[in-house]
Structure 1
Amino acid sequence: MELRQIITEIKTKQPEIKSVFFVGCGASKAELYPAKYFLEGNAKELRTSLYTANEFNYATPVSVDSSAIVITCSLGGNTPETVKATSLAKSLGAHVIAVTHTEGAPITKDADYVVLHGFELNYAAKMEKMTKVLALAVEILNQYEGYAYYDKMVDGFGKIYDLIEKAVSSVVPQAKEFANAYKDAPVIYVMSSGATHEVAYSFSICLMMEMQWINSGSFHDGEFFHGPFEIVEKDVPFLLLMNDGRTRAMDSRALDFLHRFDAKTTVVDAKDFGLGSEIAKEVVDYFNPMLISGVLRVYAEQLSIVRNHPLTKRRYMWKLEY
């Protein structure tokens, strides 16, 4: 079912929605963040929350009822905590949308609606999950409250996949440089701001800690000067994700400090890939995460090659009971 149609159908059944919950684990949770960020910044009445699935299961918000939309997300559709959260939300009367790559997966069993996304085809396909959830959030806001820049968001959705593919086609040399420079780093710190905040988080916990077994930490660069900057000194490894949009000043302030003390700094900047020249300035903030995530995938792949450590390698995940 087309995304706009899903929200239209929910509105027909439930003319008043009070809350929107986004629920997932790991990378899937992080990929829900741009949608949550969008609603939080633009909705005047709708409440919005982002939950890791077991938090949702063990400490379920009392507002999960027929006045809530719950969007759950799992790549394979079989993450036990997220499957349980989907069923729980349904049992409480919420309007449940499950987002997954796998048709007929367990997460779809108790969902009212299912949104399928790509993954294998190309780098843009890997960003479909994040993009489609953001599109759902835009539809929710526009249909329930109205959104002045709706058409500009729709235009952006029509351009972002080509922008991602264009960006990744040119970034391999920079990614190889990053890989060679950071392959022996004992730790890599990752930071960003705005809608890209949890891209830094997911790169840290998933691509570095899970897939490369590299110690890593992430933080919002607005928080950088309220604690984390004390560990900055010459050659400490940082990866800074710079946004095109309203929060760029925070990214720039962090970069200036890293350069001031000669930290080992790599920057992935959305402006380098022409995001703002294609996407309207009123909505460009919300498209940074997809573009930067696509580029970062190439960085992680090149790092895995020079370290001879495939991104698919695990020692605990899917290997034992936990």
Structure 2
Amino acid sequence: MTGFYEEVMTQPSKLAGLLEIYKQEGYETVREAAAMITQGNHVYFAGMGTSLNVASCILGRLSQQVSASALEAGELLEMPGLLREGDVLVLISQSGESIEICRLFEQIKRRVKIIGITNNEGSVLAKNSDLALFLYAGTEESITNKTFTNTMAVLYMIESVINGKDLSELEERLYSAIPVMEELLKTGKEEIRQWAQRLSPADVIHFIGAGAAAVSLAQQSALIFMEGAQCSARAFSVGGFRHGPIEICSKQHRAVLYLSDGKYMEKILNLAREMQYYGSEVVIVSNQSMDFGSHFFVGSMAEEGFAMAGALFMEILLYQVASMRGVAAGEFHITNKICKKE
């Protein structure tokens, strides 16, 4: 067992701890963040890697209330005129010390309000933001795992307040994922290993998402499978895959499809069946019951809960694929946890 998997095993308890802390404070900082965003002109979510991928889970939901977009923090550095007075910048960084984050503070010079979301309370990001929200995920030394789910949970809280939803309903949806996650760790490992074998040799894997949470999971899967299993990987939306990349379908092709919203059921099934017809090895991971042989049913739950449990499936799958490929799952070999090079 690698350090990565040991951290993955703490994911349910770290999510529960985060929810309890924010509940005890009455979601005060979450409400402050939501107020800053709604009072601003445009809100930009910026981060690198995981810290950018998480934003996909709420961008569409925010669109009816606020003008919002997401981009790489490094890309933002190259567009100094993009941020205007009155805008709000949500900077996301697990460490709060990534080089792009540090440089952005030098460049922005307080033209905009900054909300920081980080796991490091003593970081540059935490100290220099107008408002900081913390992930309470504990130490994370391997590639991203528990900070991914905890960041999504915090973003879902902010989105719920902005859209006038009852936070107690979100609590219930997120808490409902915890026993599912615990069961995956207890009994799901062997079943997921069988899916890993079907994806063999896993030199190249494509991840395709249908639904907001599913897109975040696809993007994150591509990132961590490159980092942690040394696979060549890429993420797509259903439409994005159809616009050209579908030509890669063959007996050598491997793909994981995530479905987090039932309204996309027909779309994802049509694509999966077409891919199988052309020879691709495909598995669908979802919170929806369906008539499809290559399907891992995480459980019947809301999209927010699926985001948590689906992330754990993704990480266990990575562990199994890496083991199959003779790679120490989730360990850095070239870079490290905090990137200090541009």
Cα distance in 2, alignment partners of residues 219 and 308 from structure 1: 27
The answer as to 2:153 corresponding to 1:136 is no
Matched position secondary structure for 2:239: coil
Given that 1:4 and 1:136 are in contact with CA atoms closer than 8 Å, whether structure 2 keeps it comes out as no
Pick the aligned partner of 2:52 from 26, 29, 37.
29
Structure 2, unpaired ranges of 5+: 1-21, 289-296
| Deviation digits for residues 35-67 of structure 1 (CA, Å, limit 9, x no counterpart) | 223213xx24x100111101122214645433x
Given that 1:160 and 1:291 are in contact with CA atoms closer than 8 Å, whether structure 2 keeps it comes out as yes
The answer as to 2:85 corresponding to 1:65 is yes
Assess, with a 3 A threshold, how the Cα gap between structure 1 residues 121 and 295 changes in structure 2: closer, same or farther. Answer: farther
Cα distance in 2, alignment partners of residues 10 and 185 from structure 1: 41
Given that 1:24 and 1:73 are in contact with CA atoms closer than 8 Å, whether structure 2 keeps it comes out as yes
Pick the aligned partner of 1:82 from 81, 90, 101.
101
Cα distance in 1, alignment partners of residues 266 and 81 from structure 2: 35
| Deviation digits for residues 111-133 of structure 1 (CA, Å, limit 9, x no counterpart) | 12222214359976751111112
Q: Percent identity?
A: 16
Q: Give the count of matched residue pairs.
A: 304
When structure 1 is superposed on structure 2, of 157-166 and 53-62 the one drifting more is: 157-166
Cα distance in 2, alignment partners of residues 4 and 313 from structure 1: 35
Cα distance in 1, alignment partners of residues 36 and 315 from structure 2: 40
TM-score, normalised by the number of residues in structure 2: 0.77
Structure 1 residue aligned with 2:265: 248
When structure 1 is superposed on structure 2, of 303-312 and 30-39 the one drifting more is: 303-312
Matched position secondary structure for 2:328: coil
When structure 1 is superposed on structure 2, of 285-294 and 252-261 the one drifting more is: 285-294
Instruction: Report which structure shows greater RCO (CA 8 Å, sep ≥6).
Output: 2
Structure 2 residue aligned with 1:184: 201
Alignment of 1:147-186 (within 5 A): 147=165, 152-186=169-203
Assess, with a 3 A threshold, how the Cα gap between structure 1 residues 162 and 113 changes in structure 2: closer, same or farther. Answer: farther
TM-score, normalised by the number of residues in structure 1: 0.82
Cα distance in 2, alignment partners of residues 125 and 14 from structure 1: 23
Given that 1:32 and 1:134 are in contact with CA atoms closer than 8 Å, whether structure 2 keeps it comes out as no
Structure 1, unpaired ranges of 5+: 277-283
Pick the aligned partner of 1:273 from 298, 301, 304.
298
Cα distance in 2, alignment partners of residues 127 and 8 from structure 1: 20
Letter in 2 for 1:103: E
Cα distance in 2, alignment partners of residues 11 and 226 from structure 1: 36
